Structure 1
C-alpha cells in the first residue's frame, strides 16, 4: 500500500511523457528504422543517402534532450503556446497524407509542436539545437532540387581532376564534365559533385562546434564551416581523380569499391577525420592565444 502511494505521484507525473513517447514510437519507429537501414546498407534512394549524417546527429540530439537538457526542461513552467497546436495539426495532416516527403517532414514538425505545446517558447528554445539536428537529418528532396545547379562545380572538379592526373603522366583529356582516361570516358555526374559529403561535413562541423561549446562563437563557426567546404571539395577532387584513373585503366574492383563500396566509406571517414583534426587544431590555437593574452596582461600589470 505504501509503495503504491509512493509510486502514484511519479506515475501521474510521468504519464504524459510516457504517452507522448509511446505515440511517437508507434508513429515513427518504422520510419526511423527504414532510414537507418537505408543509410547503413545503401538500399535507400540516392536523395535520402544525402542525409546519412543522421546516423550521428539523431543519437546526439536524443542525448541532448534526455540527458543534458532534461533537468532544465523539468524546471520550466508548463505553458501552452498556440503555435504548438498549429504545428501538431500540420504534422498530423502531413503524416496521414501517406506521401513519403510529407511523412518525413512531419517528424520534426510534430516534435516542434510538442515542445511548444508543453513548455511554450522557453521549451522550444531549450531544445532548438536538437530539433535543428533532426530537421537537417530528415530526408527530403532538396538534393534533387540542387542537382540542376551543380554544373559549374562538376566542370571545376573534372578540370582539377584532369590536371592532377596529367601531373602523374596519365593519358587524359577533359571535355566539360567528362574525363577521358585512355579514351575511356568518366562523367562527373551531379551526384558525384560532392554535395553529399559537403552536407555531411557541414553537419559534423555543427556537431563539433556544439560539443566544444563554440556554437555561439561566430568567428569559429565561419572558419570551421569554410574549412569543411574546402576539405570536402579537395577530397572529392582526389576521389574523382582516382575513380577516373581506375575506370580508365580497367581496375573495376577498385572503381566499384571507391564509388559505392568500402573504399567510399573509408574516404568519407578520412574526410570527416580531417575536419575533426582541424577543429582540434583550432581549439589548441585558441587556448594558446588565450594563454598569451593572459600572460601579456600579467606582465603589463607588473
Structure 2
C-alpha cells in the first residue's frame, strides 16, 4: 500500500464498500436485532477512525497480502448469504482487521484497537444470550412489588401476576432483557468513544442494566393494571404498539443523561485522550 500514490482514497473506498455491503446483507436478512447494533457499531467505528490523525500508509507485503485475503473472503462469502447467517456477525471484525492490515501492517494494529473492539462487539451472539438469560421471574417480582406498594391487590405465583379480574404472565420477551442489551450496546459504544475513568467504565454498565430493568418493570406493572381493568386496546398499545417504544426511548434518555453527567465530570486529560485516538 505504501507505494501506491492514491492508497488512502482506495482504502477509503474499500471501507465504504465493505460497510455498505454488510448493512445491506443485514437489512436483507430481516433480523432487526442485528441491524440496530450493526448500524451503531459501524457509525461508531467510522467516528473513531474519522478523529484519527492519518499519516502515510505503511504496510508490508505480508500484512498487505493477508489484508487482501481477508477482504476477498468477505466478498466471496457475501455472495452466498441468502438470509440470516452467522457470517453476518463476524464480517465487520474481519473487514476491520483486513483494512487495518492494509493501512499500517502488523506493527500498528494496536492503534486500531478501539475500531476493532467496536466492530467485534457485533460478533457477540446477543440472541442466544438473551434466550439463555431468562429474568422473567425477577421482572415479575419487581412489578408485583410496584403494584403492591401502589395499593393494587396482587398475588404473585412465579411469573404470573394475579389480579382480582385477571392474570398477567410475564413472558421472557417482556422481561426487559432485550432493552437491557440495547442499553449495554449504547454503553459499550459510549465508553469506546469517550474514555472514562476505570471506576466510571465499570459502574456505567451496572447503571444501564438497572435502568433497563426498572423502566421495563414499570411497563409490566402498567400492563397488569390495564389488563385487570379490561382496557384491552390500551394493553396492546403498551405491550406491542407504540407504547413499548416510548418506554425504550425513556430508558435511552435516562442512560443518555447519565452519560452526559459522567462526561461533564471527566477530567480534561481524559477528554484530550479521547480526542487523540
For the superposition of Structure 1 and Structure 2, which TM-score range results when normalised by the shorter chain?
0.7 to 0.9
Q: In 2, are the aligned partners of 1:87 and 1:113 still within 8 Å (CA)?
A: yes
The aligned residue for residue 110 of structure 1 is 95
Q: CA deviation at 1:227?
A: 1.3
1:166 aligns with 2:160: no
Among candidates 26, 33, 43, match of residue 59 of structure 1: 43
- Asked if 1 retains the 8 angstrom alpha-carbon contact of 2:67 and 2:102, the reply is yes
Could you tell me which residue of structure 1 aligns to residue 10 of structure 2? 16
Contact 1:257 1:263 in 2 (8 A): yes
- TM-score normalised by length of structure 2: 0.77
1:211-241 alpha-carbon deviations (Å, 9 max, x no partner): 4332xx2211011121112222211211211
Alignment-derived partner of residue 95 in structure 1: 78
Give the gaps of 5 or more residues in structure 2: 268-277
Residue 134 of structure 1 aligns with which residue? 119
- The answer (yes or no) to whether the contact 2:139–2:217 under 8 Å persists in 1 is yes
Answer yes or no: is the 8 Å Cα contact 1:160–1:237 preserved in 2.
Answer: yes
Of 242, 246, 250, 2:226 maps to: 246
Superposed CA deviations along residues 171-215 of structure 1, whole A, max 9, x for unmatched, are 32211112223342322212222222211212222233344332x
Q: Which of the pair has more CA radius of gyration?
A: 1
Q: Work out whether residues 154 and 190 of structure 1, in 8 Å CA contact, stay in contact via their aligned partners in 2.
A: yes
> Cα offset for 1:243?
2.0
The runs of 5 or more residues in structure 1 that have no matched partner are 1-8, 36-43, 288-302
How many corresponding residue pairs?
261
1:276 aligns with 2:261: no
Q: Provide the C-alpha distance between the structure 1 equivalents of 2:18 and 2:263, rounded to a whole number of angstroms.
A: 38
Q: Would the alpha carbon gap of residues 100 and 54 (structure 1) be closer, same or farther in structure 2, given more than 3 Å must change? A: closer
By relative contact order (CA 8 Å, sep 6+), the higher-ranking structure is 2
Q: Distance in 1 between matches of 2:24 and 2:179?
A: 26
Which residue matches 2:275?
none
Whole-angstrom distance in 2 between the partners of 1:277 and 1:53? 20
Cα pair 1:201 1:232 within 8 Å, conserved:
yes
Is the CA contact 1:246–1:254 (under 8 Å) kept in the aligned structure 2? yes
TM-score, length of structure 1 as denominator length = 0.71
Deviation of residue 158 (structure 1)?
Answer: 0.4
Root mean square deviation of aligned Cα: 3.3
| Cα displacement (A) at 1:161 | 0.5
Question: For 1:145 and 1:283, how far apart are their aligned partners in 2?
Answer: 30
Q: Is the CA contact 2:154–2:161 (under 8 Å) kept in the aligned structure 1?
A: yes
Contact 1:51–1:200 (Cα < 8 Å) also in 2: no
1:206 aligns with 2:200: no
Q: Secondary structure at the match of 1:185?
A: strand
In 2, Cα distance between equivalents of 1:192 and 1:221:
28
Contact 1:50–1:199 under 8 Å retained in 2: no
Q: CA deviation at 1:34?
A: 4.0
- Give a deviation string over 1:273-300, Cα, whole Å, max 9, x none: 212222333345556xxxxxxxxxxxxx
